Structure 1
Amino acid sequence: MEAQTITGRVRDLLSRFDGLPKLSLLGLLTGLLAAVVIILFRELTESTQENLLGLSNPDSYEDLTALTRILLATGGGLLLGLVFHFLATPYRAVGVAHVMERLRYHQGHLPWRNGLVQFFGAAASIVSGHSVGREGPGIHLGATTGSMLAGSMGLSSNHIRTLVACGAAASIAAGFDTPLAGVIFVMEVIMMEYTFNRFTPVILAAVSATVLTRIYYQGEAWITIEPLAFGSIWEISIFLVIGPAIGALAALFIYLLLWISRTTRDWPVWLRFSLAGLSCGLLAMPTPEIMGIGYDTINGILLGESSIMLLLGIVVFKLLATTIAIGLGLPGGLIGPTLVIGAAAGGIAGIAMHDWLGDDLSAVGFFAMIGMATMMGATLQAPLAALMALLELTANPSIILPGMLAVITANLTCSELFRQQSIFVMLMRARGLDPNYDPFVQSLQSKGIHDAVEHRVQLSRNVITVLDAQAMLELNPRFIVVRNDTNSYVMFPLVDLINWLKDHNELAEEDVITLLEIPAQYNDLALINTQASMFDALETMDSHNVDALLVEKRSWQLAQGCCVLTRDAIRDSYRFDTK
């Protein structure tokens, strides 16, 4: 009992702003745990690629014959499709869009079974050579790690959301070795909010995950970047063209993916996955570089080792293979492929400009790096995260000026000219879900109910004596809560009982009073638990058509008495925060 009491008080402390230091420690722990999961996921895929397939490095599918590539991708798709066919439909939901859905509709509770499906499903997709990435699955796995840690501690909904953000940021930081970009990505794409209470633990999670992965991989970088210099300020005009061009490419990527997703939504899952594999194998015949994650392809582009014809093939076939794979529902990510497509598109621009204007321009790798950030930023509608990644990967401030121009013009082209939002938001809407990132809703979801509840409440039987009523008056509660004959709860103000007793002062102490029969301002109560957020409370009120809630307390809290939460208290809390 004593242990339960201590644990309960820790939970109570974490539901307040004063719990930020402890929540920050949990963020640090979440980052470490998420990094371990990401390392296990990466080791599973890479060891299988090298030991089972005999590849010289994890992405060298060009080592295989064309027939082997077709059989591998098609067989892998069919096997995955058969496994998914026998999975219950709710467990098939994976990826970043799934994380956003759980944050919006389920207070950040991510089922461990979906995480398990993501872990092995994405690994199988990557190993069998499909054109998918590991960052999207990593975000799901990291977010699930944070959600499970928060759930095991019984934290409130607003703190579950924070640890989900910690896990997601940690996965990006661990995958790309870009801690700051991981933080910005989560705030810009997944949470769509910037608050100090969330920033602090998320930053610690990203830092701890980055440190652990750097130690494990001994500082090995996932891409090779030579020093890149910005040739001349006059090159700005080139990036003014590159940005909108890649923005149009991102819009095409989003449009094709959504069209395929909507068109094939009702097809059998085994058929969809098999078609995804066959398509990937066929598209890889002229350009095997499109198979797998493609980081070796990016390295070749950055080092200037790729011809313009190869880069054109990568842009066209990688875009088709990825939109088909993700559109048909394969459990892989799309962030990695957008980087490959962007690097190839930037490389094409760099080679073309060198052929036209001579070799006094920035290196082809410079154009490729900006292409990577631009394609990612436009597809995800995350310009700040893209620029942070660009800065952290290159450690070169001079790349930011042209990068800003390219990234912003690409985002404007994609969102305003072609009317395409973030791919993850569009995927949610394609499933009939509303992201609803309303500032008011976000504010309510980020706050627990603890500070808004009314503790001056007395729980009472319906039938009591006058002496019992006088004893309640001495306790001076604000509200009296009565359990009625239907086992539901009703609340009314103490002042109504005071007025009734004044009007009936002739009653003796042993006389009986039926509380629910006196004239009073009664309010029916619905139940809500102490872990709920303000948004949960409002939704519960609306669904039960009530204006007050009785907060269900755990055994360690019973000594403190019951408490209630009113709609007016929620409104007052929001008004206070906005002053």
Structure 2
Amino acid sequence: MALFYVVIYLPTRYLIEADFDSFESLAVEWRVGLSFVACITLALLFTVLPNRLHKVGVPYVVERLNYHHGNLPVWNAVVQFFSAAIGLAGGLSIGKEGPAVHLGATLGGYLAEKAKLPQYGVETLLACGVAGAISAIFQTPLAGVLFAFEVIFLEYRQRYVLPVLLSSVIATLVSHFFIGPLDIFSVESISSVLLSIDLFFACSVLVIFIVLLSALFLHTQKKLWRLSGLSVWWRFLLVAVATSLVAIYIPEALGSGYLSLSRLLSGDLILYSLFVLILVKTLLTAFTIGLGIPGGMIGPTFIIGGLAGAQVALVFDSSIVNVALFALLGMAAMMAACFQAPLTALVAIIEMTHSPATIVPALFVIVFACLLVRVFFHQESVFVERLSFMGMSSTISPFQRYLRQHTVKPVAENVLILPMYVPIEQVKDLASSMVDYAVFKVGDEHRLVRRSAVLEALGMLDQGPQLWLVAEESRMKMDLSLALESSLVPVIDEPASLEAILGWFQKHGLPEVLVAVSASSLSLVSRHRLDQFLLKSDQ
């Protein structure tokens, strides 16, 4: 994330020679030129790259988690890194938080794959990567943890909490060390909030405004998703034209928009029409993301909500409504409504602004914004809606979740590994063993026998010499391939979860399989034992 910051902000600092987000300080020709160069570069990049590398962002992370066991290709993350940096440096109305989530999730999944962790370990490290990315970008460790659960997993998972918290805290410390403290908004800590009827009336107006904005934001994207069949050149050219028009007339809407809100809160920025800026920022961000520009929308929604809160505050008497307070409430409500992440939104504004006094009014606007968006517009999280449009589910069934949380150990049986020619003394020792099965190799094939069957074959010596007796190095040995019938059983690497082994049985239709737990250890997994375990767990 520190490297991501450097790649994004060093070029803009060099060009603008001021705050990294103040594109309005550039000449009109520069603003228009940057947007066109960014869009043309991205179109060229996506034309050259194969289609499989075009998928990036938070919806892609959820897709890979649910449908591909959290396996995130590294090259997609590389594309996300540079494409987001190009878009942000060009002043496009996108955020860095969505790309950061993709990068963090990929890192977690890559480490889990290299460590050959089971499925719950993969999901744990993926959650650690997501939480760490959000924490590093915002320097909000607790909000990072809640984001991973509310937005990516869509549920709270207690067994993941400790490692995810640790990852989030360390990411914040590393971010502080490399980047320094991020004072994103120059808002003085709000020590107290006077709760009154007038305040909650103003909050109700804010809720209605936020709900309408979030509905506009999502439904604009839904309309544009239908254009995904168009050439990337046409789509990105439309973004370039729209961004250029905004760059000419309302340059404050360019980029992520943090600087515009920060200046408004500090009283330095006087806008001719704050409402127009809010509307343009909402539509431009939805237009940019909806047409496929690989950027995030978390930061822009924060800014849209903050500007909306300031607009509502300016309508009311300053003795009743504090502009800074309502900017914070708008930020929380907009994030909660768009991503259906109420606790993440609440904790994020508290951690960024160190203002716990906002909790009561913040909860009021967050809860009602989420409820009204669901009831009147039937709107889920924008990421869930995107996956639904693509014909995918954002969640997995409880049965799949249960399978993913367990390894094959509960249904695996130990087996004895024997040579094909076993000394008679070793066969006799099998009588004291508690293991029911033994495996020996004939060429490259693994053969499975019951321990009791081996002992029964040994008992045939009482009736006289047997054909399976072999004299080797002055020792009598049993040729297991001749002594008894055996079954051919395939050997596979240890699956990551019960879901993987169940899928293997369904694909191959075999009753048993040997699992290579290590280089010298095998375990037997049978479909019958797996079914018994699942039925017992269901009861």
Residue 98 of structure 1 and its aligned partner are, at CA, apart by: 1.7
- CA deviation vs aligned residue, 1:310-332 (integer Å, no higher than 9, x gap): 32122211111111211121111
Alignment partner of 1:240 is 2:204: yes
In the alignment, which residue of structure 1 is the partner of 2:259? 296
1:435 aligns with 2:394: yes
Give the TM-score of the pair, scaled to structure 1.
0.82
The aligned counterpart of 1:544 is 508
Contact 2:8 2:88 in 1 (8 A): yes
2:493 is the counterpart of 1:529: yes
1:257 aligns with 2:221: yes
Q: Kindly indicate whether the alpha-carbon contact (under 8 Å) linking 1:467 and 1:510 is maintained by their aligned counterparts in 2.
A: no
Number of the residue aligned with 2:522: 562
Instruction: Tell me how far apart the structure 1 counterparts of residues 373 and 420 of structure 2 sit (CA, whole Å).
Output: 63
Q: Give, in whole Å, the separation in 2 of the partners of 1:365 and 1:239.
A: 13
Task: Check if 1:366 corresponds to 2:325.
Answer: yes
- Greater shift, 567-576 or 273-282, is seen at 567-576
Change (3 A) 1:273 1:491: farther
Q: Distance in 1 between matches of 2:532 and 2:235?
A: 51
Distance 1:470 1:40, change over 3 A: same
Give the aligned residue type for 1:302.
L
The residue number in structure 2 matching 1:15 is none
Call closer, same or farther: CA 1:188–1:83 in 2, change over 3 Å: same
**Does 1:426 find its partner at 2:385?**
yes
State the match for 1:110 in structure 2: 72
* Residue 41 of structure 1: aligned partner: 4
Is the CA contact 2:303–2:331 (under 8 Å) kept in the aligned structure 1? Answer: yes
Which of the two has higher C-alpha Rg?
Answer: 2
Query: What's the offset of the Cα at 1:388?
Result: 1.0
What do the CA deviations read for 1:236-260 (whole angstroms, capped 9, x no partner)?
2332342244133223312221321
Query: Quick one: distance in 2 between partners of 1:343 and 1:243?
Result: 12
State the TM-score, normalized to the length of structure 2.
0.87
- Give aligned pairs, total: 527
Larger displacement relative to structure 2 (543-552 or 413-422): 543-552
- Contact 2:139/2:182 (CA < 8 Å) preserved in 1? no
Distance 2:496 2:460 in 1: 41
Q: Unpaired runs of 5+ in structure 2?
A: 469-478
- Give 2:414's match in structure 1, choosing from 453, 456, 479: 456
Secondary structure at the counterpart of residue 276 of structure 1: helix
Identify the residue that residue 26 of structure 1 maps to in structure 2.
none
- The answer to whether residue 297 in structure 2 is matched with residue 334 in structure 1 is yes
> Is the Cα–Cα contact under 8 Å of residues 154 and 531 in structure 1 kept in the other structure?
no
Who is 1:85 aligned against? 47
Query: Is 1:381 the counterpart of 2:345 in the alignment?
Result: no
Question: Aligned partners of 1:534, 1:304: CA distance in 2, in Å?
Answer: 58
Mapped to 1, the partners of 2:454 and 2:425 lie a distance apart of: 13
Q: C-alpha separation between the residues in 2 aligned to 1:563 and 1:121?
A: 46
Following superposition, the deviation at residue 127 of structure 1 comes to 0.5
Q: 1:181 aligns with which of 143, 151, 156?
A: 143
The answer on whether the counterparts of 1:84 and 1:270 sit within 8 Å (CA) in structure 2 is no
* 1:344 lines up with 2:320 in the alignment: no
Contact 1:464 1:515 in 2 (8 A): no
8 A Cα contact 1:44 1:123, kept in partner: yes
Partner of 2:248: 285
Identity of aligned residues (%): 30
1:244 to 1:547, Cα distance in 2 relative to 1, 3 A: farther
Give the Å deviation of 1:570: 5.2
- The alignment partner of 1:118 has SS state of helix
Correspondence 1:69 to 2:24: no
Instruction: Name the amino acid aligned to 2:262.
Output: N
| Counterparts in 2 of 1:490 and 1:381: CA distance versus 1, 3 Å | farther
The superposition leaves residues 56-104 of structure 1 with CA deviations (integer Å, 9 ceiling, x where unpaired) of 2111111223343223212210111111111011122211112222222
2:237 matched to which residue of 1? 274
**CA distance in structure 2 between the partners assigned to 1:140 and 1:387 by the alignment:** 23
Q: Superposed, which structure 2 residues align to 1:404-423 within 5 Å? A: 404-423=363-382
Structure 1 stretch 242-251 or stretch 565-574: which is displaced more? 565-574
Letter in 2 for 1:319: T
Match of 1:230 in 2: 193
> Would the alpha carbon gap of residues 102 and 473 (structure 1) be closer, same or farther in structure 2, given more than 3 Å must change?
farther
Counterpart residue identity of residue 247, structure 1: V
- Verify: 1:94 aligned to 2:73, yes or no: no
Counterpart CA distance in 1 for 2:527 and 2:375 is 39
**Counterpart mapping for 1:110-129 below 5 A:** 110-129=72-91
Amino acid at match of 1:285: I
Question: Quick one: structure 1 residues 282 and 440, their matched pair in 2 at CA, closer, same or farther if it must change by over 3 Å?
Answer: same
Partner of 1:30: none
CA contact (8 A) 1:526 1:540 kept: no
Counterparts of 2:272 and 2:535, CA distance in 1 = 60
Change (3 A) 1:363 1:516: farther
Show CA shifts across 1:24-63 (max 9, x none).
xxxxxxxxxxxxxx11111111110021x23421111112
Change (3 A) 1:119 1:541: same
> Which amino acid is the alignment partner of residue 284 of structure 2?
A
Instruction: Supply the RMSD in Å over aligned alpha carbons.
Output: 3.2
Mean Cα displacement is larger for which, 436-445 or 38-47? 436-445
